[in-house]
Amino acid sequence: MDDSSRRLQQRRNQPSFSSSSSTGPTRFRSQNFSTNPTKTTQSSNSVPRSNFTTATTPNNTRNPGHIRNRKSETYDGISQQQEEQEAREDVGSIIGTCPFMCPDGERAQRERLRDLAVFERLHGDPRKTSPSLAVKKFCRTISVKHVQASDVRPLAVLEDTLNYLLNLLDSSEHPFEVVHDFIFDRTRSIRQDLSMQHIVNDRAICMYEKMVKFHVISHQRLRNCTSSSISSLQYLNMEQLTKALASLYVLYEANRNNNFVYENEAQFRSFYVLLHLDSKNQQMEESLSYWFRNVPSPVMKSKEMHFARQVLRFYRMGNYKRFLCTVSSEASYLQYCIIEPNVNEVRALAISYINNCCYKLHPYPLEQLSKLLRMKELDVESLCHACGLKITSDDGENKSLPTKQTTFSIPKGSLQSYELVGLQQ
């Protein structure tokens, strides 16, 4: 075989490559990540497109206007996949121009459909409203791409709208569950408008604190309502409370500057601990332990967080005396609104201990028991009866609790709310 034939045979035996491989190094189509995100100049109230409504507090605080996306649940019924899709497709954030609490188009449509809440009706007419009464409803399926600027309220209008709604909390013309249902929906719409415009400044933090406060107060007041749908209202309120808190924590971190702590941050951070007092599963225990490690040091040293950790420890230990003493002497009004159900559970637990452990021949004086449980004597008697225990009286009308009764049982459902004597409101 001559030389030319051998060279031809060698070329045939070599493996073939695509034309692109012979032209140089392979190029991959992938996203370019910048370690130095640029700041937007679009608006002083907005930041580059980011999912700041995640339920986990981010660790990236180098750029106060940039918040890293996290794979966690988003609020207001929009899934994470939808949020990420919007983040890829939307360019910048919308800046609202609606001057009213409710856009003109929505107000006219709801008048035609008679879709007006009792607080929005002009002179009680379900077909008439006005710009000073109608408030934009929350819309579950909404995208920035399909929203006009005239349908979104700017920050100043959102602040006025929130103040208007919160003034309705003192309304006595309607049951609280009716008032709550209206404010509940309209504050979700406010959070939605804030999210679409990516407003994450100090004024947004103040608004979120007010909305969290609304849910905390509702957490207590709804327990005293008797409506047939009260359990679902309580569940939904707790759901939005935890989501609004998560968003508030993200806003705190987004605006963090060195060790600066907001005036109310310590109290609002303590709410997270108090909401997890009776969490019994191991996963929640680990989550709470991890959460503590990410709380700023000045917050951990605050009296509000010290109170929350003390209450958590006494509750888990079953130390009812120190638990009740700490709550009555140190709890703020909002903190007590959260842990009031736990206070009643601890009282029932204390009665159980006394009933089982004290001597049968020495009934426990009700007066002494009321001091221990920090309750009025009549309330102690009512609670004992709810637990299936009998109260006796001597000739001097001094009441006492006979111990070793076998009829004790924890009442089914939620316990009645009783006043905590000594609580500083």
Nearest of 306, 302, 221, 312 to residue 275 by alpha carbon? 312
**Which pLDDT belongs to residue 75?**
40
Three-state SS at 50:
coil
Report yes or no: 303 and 332 within 8 Å, Cβ to Cβ.
no
**Helix residue ranges, H only, 90-229:** 104-112, 155-167, 176-197, 202-221
Let me know if 390 is exposed, middle or buried by CB neighbors in 10 A (0-12, 13-18, 19+).
Answer: exposed
- Within 8 A by CB and 6+ apart from 187, the residues are 162, 165, 211, 214
58/52 Cα distance (integer angstroms): 9
Nearest of 395, 277, 283 to residue 338 by alpha carbon? 277
153/107 Cα distance (integer angstroms): 14
Q: Count the helix, strand and coil residues of the chain and give each as a percent rounded to the nearest 5.
A: 50, 5, 45
215/32 Cα distance (integer angstroms): 41
Residue spans of the domains in the chain: they are 93-255
pTM, two decimal places: 0.77
**Which pLDDT belongs to residue 289?**
85
73/62 Cα distance (integer angstroms): 24
| Ramachandran angles phi, psi of 364, nearest 5° | -85, 120
Starting at the edge strand that comes first in sequence, how are the strands of the sheet with 364-365 ordered? 364-365, 399-401, 392-393
Per-residue pLDDT of the chain (425 residues; tens, 9 = 90+): 555 555 545 555 554 444 344 344 333 333 333 333 333 334 445 444 334 443 333 333 333 333 333 333 334 444 444 544 444 344 357 899 999 999 999 999 999 999 999 999 999 999 999 999 999 999 987 777 778 999 999 999 999 999 999 999 988 899 999 999 999 999 999 999 999 999 999 999 999 999 999 999 999 999 888 888 888 999 999 999 999 999 999 999 999 988 789 999 999 999 999 999 987 655 566 688 889 998 999 999 999 999 999 999 999 999 999 999 999 999 999 999 999 999 999 999 999 999 998 877 789 999 999 999 999 999 999 999 999 999 998 876 789 999 999 999 988 777 788 999 988 75
414 DSSP assignment: P
Helix and strand numbers, DSSP H then E, in the chain: 15, 3
**Which pLDDT belongs to residue 88?**
38
57/68 Cα distance (integer angstroms): 10
